[in-house]
Amino acid sequence: MQPSRAFSAPGKALLVGGHLVLDPLYESYVVALSSRMHCVVSKLPSNGIDHFSVTIKSAQFDSDEWNYKILRGSSYEVLEVDGKKNPFAKKAVEVLVNYCQPDPQTTENVVLEVFSDSAYHSTGTSTLKKNEYNQFRFHDSTITKVPKTGLGSSAGLVSVLVTSLLSVYQGNLDVNSPNDQKTIHNLAQVAHCQAQGKVGSGFDVAAAVFGSIIYQRFDAKLIENLPTEQPAEYAQAIRILIDLTDWNFTHDKVTLPPGIRVIMGDVSSGSETTKLVAKVKAWYQQNLPRSLTVFHCINQGNLKFIEGIEKLTTLSRESPAVYQELLEKLDSGHDANASVEITQIRHAITQVRENFQLITRESGADIEPSSQTSLLERCLKLNGVITGVVPGAGGYDAIALLVTETADIPSQTSGNADFSTVTWLDLHQENMGIVEEKPSHYLNLQ
């Protein structure tokens, strides 16, 4: 095998902007997480024949492997060699080869080894294998049978696969270059939407590529209008869409204020995002114009939250001593009206949650069902907790808390029956999006 490269991309939590972010009008606040998807890419010599191959291995999931044979006709065709399905892997390969248009006679065969950090999936009976640099959980079931925690594994997967393949077919790839990041993002959005069979807001792919961001979506038509049924036009249309089209979306980098982090609790009963989205959309249409007023009210809360976070960052810079005192006050639990910034953030989230509770009652979509409301209320009483939400689409998947770095939430809740439904995930927010890694850091996992 020829020299390899490796890349990783983060998972996500949508702190504010759930549902509204599907509309390009509304801003959302997405944090990238320390839980990452990784890929090591290696090349094998070309066969010198009319096709080449891409093999994707995911050893952690009962030695899962997907083999693709790639042929060039009027567009590039990606065939599953042994009928084993992974729509996200297949679409990543398909979009990439149609974009890069490698010559099948001379193109190297490619092997992609995927590794995912443990927080993406429930631990179950998995075993931990590690080396000096990384540790991963190995499960005895195939990927589709292992329960997910909802951190965006498919967005992370597609982003690292697209990046790894680009590094082979396009060479000179620099994941720190804004232009290469834009190419990776656009390709990953197309592949991810096509694999999902729908165009979501794309915040998960954007966070996987750009890291923690304020995100406002692109127009869904960009992807919907691709001529997927006309092979002769497809490859050219992909090129134009990726390289020459203005996607007109927002991905402004953000950082939480110093000394403050996000922690996530897995509630593990699970909710289906598509069902929640469908119910909210139906409610919205049936209740216009009142539903628009409710969305505006949520949006106001979202914007006040984002502004409150920015004000805290300013306070930390301009008055470090006052800011340090504030963090200590939060840790002590005696923090009612701790500062105007904290009050603004708390009021903003209350405004968002009350309106989502209203939509929950009226639409039948369990965005913030009462069990999650009472769990969040209990969390708000813990020392060091600033605020908390049901992230993303809402439902029973998880909760996200904004806490001080020094707050030890697991020890405050351990053994307490009030928190028996929550498993605190071993992660925190981390701002970086896609990064290059060292291939040697994935060797000899034991």
Ligand X SMILES: C[C@@](O)(CCOP(=O)(O)OP(=O)(O)O)CC(=O)O
Ligand Y SMILES: Nc1ncnc2c1ncn2[C@@H]1O[C@H](COP(=O)(O)OP(=O)(O)O)[C@@H](O)[C@H]1O
Q: What is the contact surface with ligand Y in residues (CB under 6 A)?
A: 58, 86, 88, 114, 116, 143-144, 148, 150, 152-155, 157
Distance CA 304, CA 7 (A): 35
Given ligand Y, ligand X, none, residue 308, with its beta carbon under 5 to 8 Å by kind, binds none
In the bound complex, what is the minimum distance in angstroms from residue 175's beta carbon to ligand Y? 20
Map residue 82 onto helix, strand or coil. coil
Q: Which is nearer to ligand Y, 144 or 230 (CB)?
A: 144
Site residues for ligand X per CB under 6 A: 14, 18-19, 21-22, 150, 152, 200-201, 203-204, 273, 277, 391-393
In the bound complex, what is the minimum distance in angstroms from residue 114's beta carbon to ligand Y? 5
Q: Which is nearer to ligand Y, 331 or 437 (CB)?
A: 437
Given ligand Y, ligand X, none, residue 58, with its beta carbon under 5 to 8 Å by kind, binds ligand Y
What are the C-alpha distances in Å from 43 to residues 24, 46, 196, 442? 40, 9, 28, 16
Angle between helices 290-318 and 273-286 (to 10 degrees): 120
Fill in the amino acid letter for 317. R
Contacts of 69 (CB under 8 A, 6+ apart): 51, 52, 53, 78, 79, 81
Distance CA 291, CA 286 (A): 8
In the bound complex, what is the minimum distance in angstroms from residue 158's beta carbon to ligand X? 13
Q: Which is nearer to ligand X, 94 or 204 (CB)?
A: 204
In the bound complex, what is the minimum distance in angstroms from residue 388's beta carbon to ligand X? 15
- 31 bridge partner residues: 13
Q: Which is nearer to ligand X, 12 or 57 (CB)?
A: 12
Given ligand X, ligand Y, none, residue 277, with its beta carbon under 5 to 8 Å by kind, binds ligand X
DSSP class per residue in 301-348: HHHHHHHHHHHHHHHHHH-HHHHHHHHHHHHHT--TT--HHHHHHHHH
Residue with tokens 């291939």: 439
What are the C-alpha distances in Å from 349 to residues 126, 148, 300, 366? 37, 27, 10, 18
Given ligand X, ligand Y, none, residue 148, with its beta carbon under 5 to 8 Å by kind, binds ligand Y
Q: Which is nearer to ligand Y, 150 or 257 (CB)?
A: 150
The CB-nearest residue to ligand X is 392
Q: Which is nearer to ligand Y, 62 or 307 (CB)?
A: 62
- Contacts by 172-178, CB closer than 8 A, 24 or more apart: 175/7, 175/434, 175/435, 175/436
Given ligand X, ligand Y, none, residue 86, with its beta carbon under 5 to 8 Å by kind, binds ligand Y
Q: Which is nearer to ligand X, 21 or 352 (CB)?
A: 21
Given ligand X, ligand Y, none, residue 346, with its beta carbon under 5 to 8 Å by kind, binds none
225 DSSP 8-state letter? T
Given ligand Y, ligand X, none, residue 203, with its beta carbon under 5 to 8 Å by kind, binds ligand X
In the bound complex, what is the minimum distance in angstroms from residue 381's beta carbon to ligand X? 26
